[in-house]
Structure 1
Amino acid sequence: MATTTRFKRWAAVLTVCAMTLQTAWPTVFTAPVTAQPATAQTAPELFVTEIHPDVDGADHYEFFEVYNNSNKPLALNDYTFLYRYTTGSTADKTFTFDDYTLAPQQTVVLWWNNTNKTLDEFNAKYGTSLSTSQVIEFDGFDGFSNSGDRGVVIRNKHHVEIASSIYLKADVGSGLGIHYKLAASGIAADKLYTKAAPTPGALHSGQIPAEPVMFPDEPINMAPTIAHTPITDGAVGTDLAVTARIDNAEQSTGLDTVQAAVYYRTVSQAVYASAPLTAALDSQYSGVIPKSALQEQELLYYIQAKDSVHTVTTDTYTVRMDLGAIDYNRMPHFLVTEVVPDSTNVNSADGYEFIEIYNNTNRDLNFKDYKLQYRYTDSGPEADVIWAGVPEELVVPSRGTLVFWVINGKNDTKTVADFNANYGSSLTENVDIVRVYSAGMANSGKRGLVVATNTRTELSAAYYETDEETKPDKGIFYKYPVDGGTTMIKYSAGLLPATPGVVSDEQVPPVTVKLTADTQKPTVTDITGQATVDQANDVDIVAEAKDDQSVKTVAFYFRSNADTAYTKRYLAESFADGFYHYKLYSPDLIGKSYYEYYFVVSDGTHEVTSETYRIQVTGGPDRSALRLNVADGGFVSGTYVLKATGEHAPAEELELSIDGTAITEDTYAALENGAYSPSRRRASTSTSRTV
């Protein structure tokens, strides 16, 4: 780096240069140079031959030079280049640069181009004519120090330091650097010249060893070969077995290993998925394309085998899938057709994430009987988070869409007009777009969006896997399943602009599900079987709901005697018994007199409401209308505080009598129980009397 003492340094340089040969200006050879004697095989294969820390003028052209002291091309990215504070005052810094392979017995200049200068400017600075293959730019630090003890250290891929070139403050001058030669032993290079003129790309007599490090020729690694009979036909609902013979000469001798996989996608999908192929006897490999992937008329696949050097890939083959007779009437009523987990930001968060669903029936459907669920794929359905649209009740027309716009706290002030402007759409709030309040969708990691009934019966599910699929304002598009399942087919991810409210013909079936007339109402029966519960115990509320088609909603409403309004909960069908359960826990029962509840059940067309049921809560303190804190016929002695309590009467209306004589003095209002009693507090009149 340049300092403010450049002119003084020039004077010092001239003085020192006249005193000693080592610091004399070197003779530069661009032709083959005279090598120094050295034992080549003990020398490092790479070392730094020059460092230029202090450029005269602005520090735009600092560099260091590296020499390949071997008989083989070396990938510099297999090594780590460190900027070292030799006093240990600061941790090493790692230089970074693009991939580069240095030819045998050649140099490369690593330039810290901190101000985006051109190579022509670099050459003009040093009077050179280096090409782009001779100069690479690097980063990872803030420039070479002119006043501290520093160095460049090279570490190999085994994390062993093989070479270091160190300089001191006294070695550097304005526009003058250090040139190095290999030492007779050790990893530290000797200084050939200090305070010397820069010579990027050129070496000096005596700077390199007489012979390079001679690496032995590596045995030729033969590429694997794949023998495979293409699969021509498959059937939906059945895994597709894939076999191949993969030979590799080095694997048979234990010198190398082969990894193999089959890559596949449906004809409408843009991205290949993969399944591993496992080795068996006689170089036979086998694997399975899962039946869940076989959902279209054509499947594309290829096989790939890798060893430590080679990657071999077969041709891409097409499998004709027998879809059987597609029953469009058994397809999901609602389809998830598009998801955008990443969008233009608003206040540093995604402002326009959305999920699009499609009504795949011949009737308008009220979405109040359905919910959107956000799924953490690896955690399973039990961890699903319910995302309710606001408003909850909204009719989706036949063959129409509904867009759920994620409101995450950062975009609360944005309007549907802003949403439309972002995507070029024309949606109307609470007609074909609703808000869903959530922190939003992950841009990386496996997630899913599910449409299910309020009873948690899944209709359709759309999944995405990686951040390569989530691009700002790009849609992840899905088409309908053809295997009778609920998993949507992902056919384009992160490639095409999002189209909220619009579906293409390939995304949806050619015909809709034909819903038959629903003339029967659902039924609901309370089978709890309890009229009372002790407050120390939980109580399981159980309902049986039935319908001739399907039960889509079982809503449970409940309140205690302490509540004015009912609380609403949606109940899911139990896989264990087919009933609908809700548990009231003991802590919620303490201090309550009763709970009352009822059910509302919907089949999507009809809605029925049960009668209201009541469970009395027992246990705990006495709740008689009038009561004393002594039992009838009981005995007391000494001084005793006698309390009379009215369940519904205030303290001032109570009168306490002993042996028929009213007590009118020394009475006062008090709590019936202590401050920490879990029971309900009642005002009471009490008196103190010695019996």
Structure 2
Amino acid sequence: MLEILKSKKHLRLFAWLAMVAGILISLSSATTVSVFAAVTPVLTITEIHPNSTGIEAYEFIEIKNNSSSSVDLANYKVDYERVGASTKVWDMTTSQTLAAGAVEVIWIFQNDSVGKTKADFKANFSISIPDSQIYILDVRAVGAGTGLENTGLKSIVLKSDSGTEVSRAAYNDQTGNDTGTTVDGGENKSAVYEFPQYLNDGNKTMRKVARGSAPSPGGSYTAAEAPSIWITEMMPNPVDDGFEYIELYNNTTSDINLSGYKFKRVNDSITWTFGSFTLPAKGYAAVWIFNNLSTGYTTADFNNHYNTNLSSTQLYKLDLGTYSGLWNSAGPNTYEILNSSGTVICSASYNDAGTTTDASFEDRSILYDYPVTNTKMMRKVANDQYATPGEPYNMFYGQLHSHTSYSDGVQTPNDAYLWARDKGHADFFAVTDHSHYFDNVNDWANSTEWTDLKQKADYYYNENKYVSIAGYEMTWHNPTGRWGHMNVFNTDWFEYKENLKMNMPAFLDKLNQSPAGFAQFNHPMLTEWDNTKKWDYWTPERDNQVALIEINDPKEQYDTYIHALDKGWHVAPTNNGDNHSANWITRDNNRTVILAPRLNRDALFDAIRARRTYASWGDSDIRINYRINGKDMGSRLTGQSSLAVKVDVYNQNADNISKISVIANGGTVVASQTYSTNKVSFSTTLSPNYKYYFIRVDQADGDWAVTAPIWIEDPIPAQLSMDLKASSVSGVPVKVNANVKNTSGSSMSNVIVDFYKDTISGTPKGSTTISSIGAGATGTASLEWNPGITGNYTIIARVTIPGSPARYLVGKAVVPELIITELGVNTTNGADPNNSQYELYDFAEIYNNSKNTINLSGYKITIGPTTGSSRYTFDISGTFNIPSHSAGIIWFKNPQNTSLTVSDFNSNFGTSLTSSQIYSVSTSEEGPSGYLVNGGGARQVWIIKDNGDIVTMSEYSSGLDLKLDTTQENKSIMFSYPTDGTYANNKLNYDQPPTPGSVSSSQYPN
């Protein structure tokens, strides 16, 4: 087994956290913003028992009243939904009051129950609850008089008498349409449920937290009610038996000093006593079972064995003296934690089937979760797991974006899931075919391909071994708004691009109605897929549902990640293959890494919602643990006076880490350190000046990784906007303004604005102190600066808002060398009716915003994406000079207008341009794709230098303006300079009288 372990690239750094369904422990302290708490339904389903012993006389559903008022069960009914059969409706007609906070057992009284009493019911389960806690729901008159079926997918839906759904819970839900299979309906076993707290409200579906559990009617038991201390992990069989350990979790909100507590080996009743050691509130620690084989080993040895970096506050050495530690023999082997009074707090067993199964895996641990049966015995949930002592989360490696022949890839989802599992050795893998390719695209419920994709994901799903995920890619292209692409997960439904009502804002609002669902921005980059304004459609609800952003590119997509964060999106990075060939996950070593307590869907999806991910480019086994003040990546903090940053990085393949950087707003590097080793621990202390901080790790071989941020959510009482103006200083092309609006209720004094070029580093290029900004007022600081260079440059303003601590606002303004100020995209058609798509006078107006004459030789004008190709480029090879603060015209020539002259151009537009002001570009391509297309959806027009640097870009017919910009012949679209920190110009208006060569003062910094 050790050799097998060594062959796996992703041994884990960090320890398992007993999974608490729906509770994000990392966000629980008083210094952290609470995750939005969804409104819990009045009644929730907490347990389903479909298969009682022998004759099925004692089936039941357990429900809980979560409201502050009593409810009468006579106002409710149960819909029993069955795959492949009709729904049974069981109305609760007898009046019975369920008190606030109380639990009720609904006994499904069927043919086998006849002659049985409530006393018999309680005796069957060895419980003593009052008769009033048992509601008899007689179902004999419905169907054949049978109750809960044992096989096939079933759902219990609790509704009000008016038909409003209150809550639902499914069992056997991994069987799909296989009506003859059982997963949760084992004899005398129950499925246990909790209400998951998703980020948006509206969920009615309970989460199954345990299957095959001993039935406990009337004893609803949640994590909050579980023991104060949990055993969450045990390592009974390390390769070297001197490194056995157990992991403890403090389930309370107060620190617990374990001094005087005891660890008991129940099988031989031997007890060992703890010395002074603090188990932090909602915190974890590894207890090293320092046995007779541990002599001579140190904490460093323990860390080296498990590739951890545990400190003395995270690792306690429990010295057993000459005794052996955790037994590997056939069990059950049971261990207890007792308090100083000798009372058992919790216990855990392994090999409890009477064999050595659990302890037979060397260097693999056994995982436990809290008991759901009102006992102190931890619930064993997995064996043969990666050893991860003393830390809350494990690290799982995979990808979340791929395709098959169900869209524009190859083979089938069945092939993809198998390949990623068996050849890619992925922990998790998602197939996300483009939804507009699915059959029956207008009726998702009857799409055989969508159904098969989900069923195959369920078929290969193997809890704690391999998580197969079904999703889809929502794909907006040119004719549908060019919003970009998004992967969507964990919804029953799909949408498709041809539904023109589903622009991105409408789509995200629909996703908000599925609180369990979540989405990912795919490969975001303005030069390929996205329109320029999508980030502006941020709302808190949309932000909640879009958890991820894909970074498959080290430059533009990385920069777009920062842009999205600066716009307020709480997104965590991923890196995925987007495979369209039969090389799923094996094509490269790029990986998405998710920090989760266990390898199952709920744990991974909760981790994604908590933004606990990082993206690795080129390295499939790098491990990163990043915390601020003890809180993991993805956390949202408030009330911090300082930030203790801690980053642990380990590369198992011995690739050296060259640099660790802490990145804040605007891409600002606020701290960094260089290295030349494969295992590093970086720490620093920062003031909480910025809104977010993430980690970038660079390696000596060029591979790199970026983590999710940790956000500082304290509000900043100001807003920053940037604009450009013409400078009055001789030789200076532009003035940059930073406009600071005071959003507080009182005056603000001594606001410092520092200006930097390209990055916030070194000495500012200028600095201004705004002495006072009144409540609700705006103060402006300006920079007039001659960079002494040609081309675009970026001015960054960092505003210091006084306070303790001071807070920073960061804004960017691209000072453009050139601006595309006007596009004529729907001019007079040619005379040949067979080529009427060729328009005679399509043009792009280029304004020189610099202080020098610019020769466009060495530049290209690119249109894209265009029909049939991603871009079409016209090279400007000859001399074409545009004087400073003047405009030149690019005239697009085609087979219909090759003979037309500058005089014809002037006659058409009523202008008097000279030949030096117009440059003609042409193509021999037979078709419209090389030209400024109208009516075909979104287009972008770039000016790009021959070296690939993007200078300026104007976009039309995108987003909500789909098909609006090109409706009128012989009209123009007007643009002004960029203001959002990118090179994308602002569209002013469309259907305007063309004015080629004439630029208004609103179109350039003035």
TM-score range, shorter chain: under 0.3
Q: TM-score, normalised by structure 1?
A: 0.27
Question: Which is higher, the Rg of structure 1 or of structure 2?
Answer: 1
